[in-house]
Structures are given as structure tokens and as C-alpha cells.
Amino acid sequence: MPLGRKAPVVDKPFATSYGEGSELATIARETGRILSIYQNRRWDGDFKTVRKLVEKNSLGPIVLYESHFDRYRPHLHPGAWRERNEPGSGLLFDLGTHLIDQAMLLFGRPDAVSADIRRERGRAVVDDAFDVTLRYPSMRALLRVTMFASAVGPRFLLHGTNGTYVKYGLDPQEEALKRGETPGGEEWGKEETASYGILTTNEADKITTRAIPTESGDYRAFYENVRDAILGHAPLAVIPEQALDVLCTIELARESSARGCTIPWR
């Protein structure tokens, strides 16, 4: 791509519908533009660690992948965009986009989707909780969000045929940014030892448990990849086709929840 041309970066989830996203992707393709979607949580340290464990087959074939993004926010904030009754609002579009993208990056497109999308806070006007299940031939990916998690639960839970990995706590980058810290230095994105996930495996019929150091997270890597793609030095990490798969899954999840049934992925 010529350096004088713009390379748009769109915030997740890319668009408020699959149709709108498909139109954007077509325009980018026909005009030869690089177009990426800000799926920054691919560069969370905890997810990077999970991805590494899955790619190394450290747990054996995965039979259950559970991903939570739970918070304790029992009171509504009507001024927040995600709580207004308008296109693109609600937690399925907000946090669900990240959870779906991460799961599909690990396991690809599912065979089917089932979901329960709901409003748990009494006066909420959009969804503030959900359970979405991506169904694969030999495993399930359970994606869950609630605003009533007053007790800390696991961020990730993976069961494989040869082991289990459990990880508590959220990547520290968001809170650091809220405190006004500037990304940089050796300590950026590093997690405290006490927050490391625990891997339990069966080795020669002996159960072994050990802490797994969490990879350092760094959202800057997203923009570094966009730069390298513009310069022709690397393939683009987050491509429109992946964002369209996420939007498709969101729409199927809504259909599943409304109809109370499992919907084949299409």
C-alpha cells in the first residue's frame, strides 16, 4: 500500500451489524486499503499465556474452554454508551466482542452457537449479562459476563484431556492506563507472581501442579503490527474477515437467545 494512503483502524466490534461490516470490508478490498479492527485484548498477558498453552498442547486436546469477564457494577450508569438503548450498546457488543474474538482465534469458527442474553439489573434497558456457548465437535467454549460478580471468579478455565489451567485476575494494563501511567519500560504489562495461573497436569499417572508465569501484555503491539503491515514487513494481525466472523457470531447469539435454541453457525 502506498505510504500516502490512509490505513483505517476501527474500534471493535467493527460495525453494528454484519451487513455494515461487510460493506466496509468490501470497500477496503476494492480500494486496496489496509483496514484493521482494534482487538487489543489479543495482547492481554493472560490471553497470550492461554494461547501459548493451547498452541503447545500443554493440556492435551481441549474439551472445555471457559472465559469470563465479570465485574461488580450493580448500579446503572445511564450516561455510559454501553447502557443506552441504541445500536452497538450492551455488553455482548462491548465485552462479548473480545471474548468471541479470543475464542475464535484459538479454535476457529464453531459448528453452532447457543446463548442466553439478558438484563440482570432491574432497570437496565440493554443486555448486561450473557452466557454464549460456541459448540465445536469435541469441545465447548463458554463465554460469560455478569455485573454481579461480588466475589472473584476465574478469568480463564481450561480443561484438556491431560490437564487443567485456571487463571484469576485481569490484565493490569487497563488499570495502569486509568491511573495515567504511560506504556513503556520493562515492567509495563507485567503481572505479579501471586496472580500467575495454575496448570495441573497428569504426567505418568502423577498429578503435577505448578504456577505458569503470565506473559507480559502490551497493547502497543497492535499498532506496531499495523505499522509493519503498512510497510510490507508483516501480515496484518487483525483482519476484517475475523471481525465479520465475530459480528456473525453476535447476531447468531442474539437469534439463539430470542428463540431459545441452538443455531448452526453460518
Q: Is residue 4 a part of any domain in this protein?
A: no
DSSP single-letter state for residue 213: P
CA dihedral 16, 21, 23, 28 (to 10 degrees): 140
Q: Residue 3 — very low, low, confident or very high, per pLDDT cuts 50/70/90?
A: very low
pLDDT above 50 for 173: yes
Q: Are 132 and 36 in contact (CB under 8 A)?
A: no
Q: What is the pTM of this model?
A: 0.95
pLDDT at 155: 97
Q: Is residue 29 a part of any domain in this protein?
A: yes
CATH assignment at residue 89: 3.30.360.10
What domain range is 78 assigned to? Answer: 9-259
Q: Is residue 73 a part of any domain in this protein?
A: yes
Query: What is the per-residue pLDDT across 70-88, written as a single tens digit (0 to 9) for each?
Result: 999 999 887 788 888 888 8
- The residue among 266 and 245 whose pLDDT is bigger is 245
Number of domains in the chain: 1
Alpha helices in the chain (DSSP H): 18-31, 45-55, 91-107, 173-178, 220-230, 240-259
**Residues making up the chain, counted from first to last:** 266
Q: Are 235 and 43 in contact (CB under 8 A)?
A: no
3-class state of residue 229 by DSSP: helix
- In this structure, are strands 112-118 and 163-168 parallel, antiparallel, or unpaired? unpaired
504511560: which residue's cell?
A: 182
Query: What is the per-residue pLDDT across 198-249, written as a single tens digit (0 to 9) for each?
Result: 999 988 789 999 999 999 999 999 999 999 999 999 999 999 999 999 999 9
Q: Is residue 264 a part of any domain in this protein?
A: no
pLDDT at 6: 85
Contacts 24+ apart (CB under 8 A), 80-87: 82/126, 83/124, 83/125, 83/126, 83/128, 84/125, 84/126, 85/125, 85/126, 87/16, 87/17
N- to C-terminal Cα distance for the chain?
32
Q: Is residue 210 a part of any domain in this protein?
A: yes
Q: Is residue 70 a part of any domain in this protein?
A: yes
Average pLDDT over residues 141-157: 95
Edge to edge, the sheet with strand 206-212 lists 206-212, 197-203, 163-168, 154-160, 62-68, 140-145, 129-135, 112-118, 263-264
Query: What is the per-residue pLDDT across 94-148, written as a single tens digit (0 to 9) for each?
Result: 999 999 999 999 999 999 999 999 999 989 999 999 999 999 999 999 999 999 9
Q: Is residue 75 a part of any domain in this protein?
A: yes
Q: Is residue 265 a part of any domain in this protein?
A: no
